[in-house]
Amino acid sequence: MIPPDHPRYRSLMVRERLARCAEAGVVALEGLAAHGRGEAFDYLIGERTTPSALLAARTAAAMLLLAENPVISVNGNTAALAAREIGELQRASGAAVEVNLFHRTEERIRRITRLLEEEGVVVLSGEAERLLPLSHDRAWCLPQGIGAADVVLVPLEDGDRCAALAAMGKRVIVVDLNPLSRTARTAALTIVDEVTRALPHVTAACSDLDPAEAAALITSMDNAYLLRTAIDEIITRLSHALD
Ligand code: ATP
């Protein structure tokens, strides 16, 4: 039992949830290691949404709203951490949701789908095909889902798949706390924020953006600027760490 007055209460609760989801076969053990890397970067960024991450979240909303076939690609960590937030974003944006896994088994797909559906997410189903030019299992996706998408939001992506999606002409939005990752640098748009903080900002923007602001956000989108700003945040925090 984690005492609510523990200074790291939220982080410990999240770890406990991920551990339970790993035992239940929703999160891969490798996903726990990936979460640890995210936690480290969250510490550096101050465990808060920075102004540039908020700008990125609003731009993501604009991209989803103006897309023809937007798809949200969900893995085990995202489902374990943010199933409710995915449901809210799906309802606000009209995007389809597809489960896509690095460590893919039909059983894991079923478990993750069930967890998402319990939170009101409508999950695409059908026969997956090896559509992406990748040697690992993330190559498998649904022709009517990610296969047909023009914009793909992938919270917690890996660099290879992000590049493969981009090479297929898709606009890729990622949420990644590490502004140095290959994923962050390959995506069309990176939200450098923790996934459960980032998604509600995207959802809120889906409801309050007007068409002119949405178009302006897309025209002025600059991922290199967003990553540089996130790195500057970290440098500033580190340089004042012992003040
Ligand atoms: P790349 O292939 O892009 O260089 P990687 O090998 O570092 O990436 P993975 O191990 O595939 O990345 O995924 C982990 C990434 O997800 C890390 O960059 C980490 O910062 C990020 N991450 C983990 N948990 C979260 C979270 N809750 N919110 C946002 N980002 C997260």
Q: Which region among 29-38, 154-163, 232-241 has the lowest average model confidence (pLDDT)?
A: 154-163
Residue whose CA is at the smallest distance from ligand 1 atom 7: 181
Residue 136 has what pLDDT?
85
What's the mean per-residue pLDDT of the chain?
95
Mean pLDDT of 54-60: 98
Residue 218 has what pLDDT?
97
Q: Which protein residues touch ligand 1 with a CB less than 6 Å away?
A: 34-35, 37-38, 41, 81, 156, 158-159, 175-178, 181-183, 194-195
Of the candidates 199, 240, 226, the one whose C-alpha atom is nearest the C-alpha of residue 44 is 240
Residue-number span of the structural domain to which 190 is assigned = 51-242
| Residue from 181, 191, 195, 201 whose mutation best tests the ligand 1 pocket (most atoms within 8 A of CB) | 181
Judge whether 20 lies within some domain: no
Mean pLDDT of 219-223: 98
Residue 233 has what pLDDT?
96
Instruction: DSSP for the chain, please give it.
Output: ---TTSTTHHHHHHHHHHHHHHHTTSS-HHHHHHHHHHHHHHHHHTSS--HHHHHHHHHHHHHHHH-SSEEEEE-HHHHHHHHHHHHHHHHHH--EEEE--SS--HHHHHHHHHHHHHTT--B--S--EE-SS-SSGGGEE-TTTGGG-SEEEEES--HHHHHHHHHTT-EEEEE-S-TTSHHHHHSSEEE-S-HHHHHHHHHHHHHH--HHHHHHHHHT--HHHHHHHHHHHHHHHHHTTT-
pLDDT at residue 209 is higher than 90: yes
What does the block give as tokens for 230?
């996130």
Judge whether 35 lies within some domain: no
Residue whose CA is at the smallest distance from ligand 1 atom 31: 38
Q: Which region among 51-55, 99-103, 110-114, 174-178 has the lowest average model confidence (pLDDT)?
A: 99-103
| Residue from 11, 86, 183, 186 whose mutation best tests the ligand 1 pocket (most atoms within 8 A of CB) | 183
Judge whether 5 lies within some domain: no
Task: For 94-124, write each residue's pLDDT tens digit.
Answer: 999 999 998 889 999 999 999 999 999 999 9
Ligand 1 atom nearest residue 193's Cα:
29
Judge whether 145 lies within some domain: yes
Residue 2 has what pLDDT?
85
Residue 102 has what pLDDT?
87
Local confidence band at 7 (pLDDT 50, 70, 90 cut-offs):
confident
Ligand 1 atom nearest residue 157's Cα:
11
Local confidence band at 216 (pLDDT 50, 70, 90 cut-offs):
very high
Residue 158 has what pLDDT?
82
Mean pLDDT of 71-95: 97
**Separation of 182 CA from ligand 1 center, angstroms?**
10
Judge whether 70 lies within some domain: yes
pLDDT at residue 187 is higher than 90: yes
pLDDT at residue 135 is higher than 90: no
Judge whether 41 lies within some domain: no
Judge whether 216 lies within some domain: yes
> CA 130 to CA 140: how far, in whole Å?
4
Judge whether 42 lies within some domain: no
- Say how many domains are in the chain: 1
Mean pLDDT of 187-193: 98
Task: For residue 223, give the CATH number of its domain.
Answer: 3.40.50.12640
What angle, 0 to 180 degrees and rounded to 10, lies between the N-to-C axes of helices 51-66 and 223-239? 160
